[in-house]
A and B are shown apart, each in its own frame.
Chain A
Amino acid sequence: MTLYGYRLPAMSSLILWGLLWEAIGQMEVSFFVPPLSEVIVTLFEVVQTSAFQKALWETAYAFLAGVFFSIVIGIPTGILMGKNRLIDELLLPWVNIFLSVPLTALVPVLMVLFGFGMTSIIITTTLFAIWIIILNARVGVMQINRSLVDMARSFGASPWDAFVKIYFWAALPEILGGVRIGIIRAVKGVIIGQLLISIVGFGALFELYSNNFLMSHFWAVLLVLFALAFSISELLAMLERRVAYYAAKR
């Protein structure tokens, strides 16, 4: 978007929306919408409280653990599915089902099986992230140019060489794409898990603030959370772009 010859940077409209928020807040249209300036002041107070830091730590822990498990289990499973037709045909229906099914419905089961704590949240996070990682790793391996495989074989590559020097790199753009979407889903999963299980992390914090009608606290935490999620997603997109140059050229 250009204005009088100036190119407006992407996302700069958020400033406009922020101003609108401030105006609505100042006009006291709704009790639920405090002015942005007030929210930001609160934000700096909130982030220093131990309750916030504890919630952040608990969330980060569950998130990282969930992402770790979904990557460590997901990528090899996907590669295996891409390489072996029988395994693929046995697993693919389930991967597709769990990719699009409302996983929120499974959280109550996790709660009764694994208790109301960290374990359930980590499993929820993993369940949100893993399927797309599996699926993308599978697609990445399956679309590898046949000629590349033939080429490696014609030079007598060992299976290990072929894997390390061809398969992994050739599938890397798709794998990274899957990991990026998986991580974004994990952010959602960890929050949904905390909301439903609700005695840990931000789930507990939101409960506390909304029960006490601390609106600017609530918004402050929400802002932090959204900003974190957005930064993670942008960072991953940036990483992905670094290998994109060869994704289209295979």
Chain B
Amino acid sequence: MAMPQTKPAPVATTDIAVSARSVSKTYGETEALRDMTIEFPRGQLTSLLGPSGCGKTTLLKIIAGLLEPNSGTIEVNGKPVTGPGEDRAFVFQDFALLPWASVMRNVAFGLELRGVAKSEREAIAAKYIADVGLKGFEKSFPHELSGGMRQRVGLARALSVNADVLLMDEPFSAVDEQTRRKFQEDLLSLVQNENKTFIFVTHSIEEAVYVSDQIALLLPRPSRVSEIIRPSGLRMKDVDNIRRDPEYLDTVDRIWALLRSYVE
């Protein structure tokens, strides 16, 4: 490939939060993932970028322990994944909010299922509700919120369980452009401030370049990693200037050049 790429440096295992090794997954006749190997460094945000239907959701669900791979292993913090665990939290593309429960209960739901006492979990939830900017909406119901606000409820719920790894499946796809930009900035500061590992699925090249420490480009089905791109210089820049940065623009162009062939 024409892409300049740094040679893979030997990596201390402690630095890798999540790793997928030779993961394959077939749905009946459809081969979604074939021998996929990818590592996610701790404290960083990795985007999965690839054509629709290439298996991004599938990979995320396998990491979450919601799906079982046909072969291969997933390790989180060095331990193989056998099912859902407290070290991972999922942000659903369609929010997956309980329509019959208030914002407070929705945000506290993960803690509720983990058996945290009511007063304690509501205190934690209240903090995250405020963090995502929904203070005052604790008693509202999902149908009374806008799409962006619902998405924030889903985000607050995932954050409130304080998992090491956040799995986000196109979390901003249902919100308007302004909200989306706001979320992207919030996400950047979240990555900065919390030592969490983010795995982030998106369809937007610009978004991926803007928020990611590394971007994994996936091939069409059966999916493998085609390339890893690290817009490393950008992370040092001031958030407000990233979109004007030449490296940002170059990286976007480069990725588009690579992905274009799949679209055509």
Contact = CB atoms under 8 A, between A and B. Distances in A.
Instruction: Answer whether A and B are interacting partners.
Output: yes
A155 interface: yes
A123 B95 CA distance: 45
A145 B85 contact: no
A243 B84 contact: no
B109 A150 contact: no
A145 B94 CA distance: 9
Contacts of B84: 153-156
Interface in B99-115: 99-100, 109-110, 112-114
Interface in A193-250: 243, 245-246, 249-250
B90 interface: yes
B19 to A, nearest CB: 19
Given A154-B90, A249-B142, A169 B98 contact: yes
Contacts of A151: 90, 92, 96, 109
Nearest to B111: A155
Contacts of A165: 98, 109, 112-113
A154 B99 contact: no
Contacts of A169: 98, 100
B65 A154 contact: yes
Contact of B96 (A145, A161, A243, A246): A145
Given A154-B84, A156-B113, A147 B100 contact: no
Contacts of B98: 148, 165-166, 169-170
A152 interface: yes
B64 interface: yes
Secondary structure at the B interface, as helix, strand, loop or mixed, is loop
A250 B88 CA distance: 24
A110 interface: no
B48 interface: no
B143 A249 contact: yes
* Interface of A: prevailing SS: helix
B100 A156 contact: no
A169 B142 CA distance: 15
A150 B96 contact: yes
A168 to B, nearest CB: 10
B144 to A, nearest CB: 9
B61 interface: yes
Contacts of A181: none
Nearest to B101: A169
Interface string A125-165: 00000000000000000000101101111111100010001
A145 B88 CA distance: 21
B249 interface: no
A172 B100 CA distance: 10
B161 interface: yes
B66 A150 contact: yes
Interface of A: 145, 147-148, 150-157, 161, 165-166, 169-170, 172, 243, 245-246, 249-250
17 contacts: A147-B95, A147-B96, A150-B90, A150-B92, A151-B90, A151-B92, A155-B89, A155-B110, A156-B86, A165-B113, A166-B98, A245-B141, A246-B99, A246-B100, A246-B142, A246-B143, A249-B99
Interface of B: 61, 64-66, 84-86, 88-90, 92-96, 98-100, 109-110, 112-114, 141-143, 161
Given A154-B84, A156-B114, 4 more contacts: A147-B92, A147-B96, A157-B113, A169-B98
Give the top 5 A-B pairs by smallest Cβ distance, nearest first.
A246-B99, A147-B96, A151-B96, A155-B110, A155-B113
